[in-house]
A and B are shown apart, each in its own frame.
Chain A
């Protein structure tokens, strides 16, 4: 292959500006592909985080209670109506053992037990319905990053402390250190001191939750020692559904991923992915056409040289490989440069694009697999694009080529 590599490299070098231009074109195409891929992944990840608020990636709940009518098996078709059972607040069975098991499973980043149920918050004449949410702050923060959303005070709960949202605090007219009354249908409740105020960026969410310690919530919700759910954060956000299915298969509880719980968001993200996939496909096609057309021109320009090489004893296969190598080299060099430019573009854009609250719209992450696959993909594209010109070169009649 030394002969093929030597001739291919010389042909490319001899191409001068023509070679530089096609590598530049490939670089631009690949950098946009890399930018879109990286940007899309980062943006979707951040978008999901913002949209889901404090929703976990996966939630494990007790399985729904179903009505089991007493009947003979043979008479099942005669039951005109089976009334669904009301779903009471129940604890996840053996949740501590389950939490310990989930802690060790691969792909799960954080595990947080939660006791949540309906409640009322009151101050003076104002009553607001909320979800009383009992948490272990460190674990909950690892799953939902609530600690990053605290705008006043802190997410450190002692018995008698509560953390509420900005809008609820405004509705109640309370600030840090003020007391509010929490009650539930099963407990008259008590007064709790506002220890922290969070802002999830959505008004309804900022009115929805009142965070207390796990034992406090257990007492308020009449769930002694129990939790209503176990919430999980996973390593691969888009693999949550598959992981949830695997977990579901090994436990009697209901396991639900964010994808299943937010089908509209998931559909929108899927559509966005399909659209960008199309854009990336057409960009790759443009790159391939560019490489092919430059190599076809090169074959025409080098007809005589190909003829002389064939006359000297270069087999068709060798000429074919000379041009395939050129295509692969153009693709690979464009991909390496394009990956660097694409990452640079993503990093620059992540500094420019800001959300309403002033925080970056997305965080640029360096993803080695993305660049590895890009370089491999672009090399294959270059190789495939070179097939037609290479075959044309290999099939040249040496006698005719020399006469030209």
Chain B
């Protein structure tokens, strides 16, 4: 319940704010005239109001509201809520041209590498061949030879990667892991003489006037 002074002060504020009804204003002004204390209070409030209205307005600094809000004590959130906000809360992204160009550069680089790898032609044989191999034993009788190697389609005709081992009675042998299919080969004796396997499964023209040996592997 408001007392008389409080009611009078409330009506004075309404008059000064221009919110009082005409009758209310007339009655109050009559009471102010009659009561010196009330008159003094009314005069003081009127001066203060005039002073505020005539004083120069200070501009509100930018981000004033945001800064005030930031300084307000934060409501403590549960860990789950904080994690949710971290992942899904909407964010305003500040960016500059250099960062944007760098990001575009990274995307273009990744994209071109993906396209390059995907479009890189692959030898068809290499794609479809099974990884399974069969062990094929080749032997060659050459007692006088100092070195015997085998070169063929399976080793790109390299003369130094598949060397036969000399066993007793001048027999040279090697066990070759070969993939399914036909393989052509020749023995290379002492690094210079190309000799077909005398007992190969079959032979085929090598296109240069010699005969390659043929071995067929099936699993």
A binds B: no
- A residues with a Cβ closer than 8 A to B are none
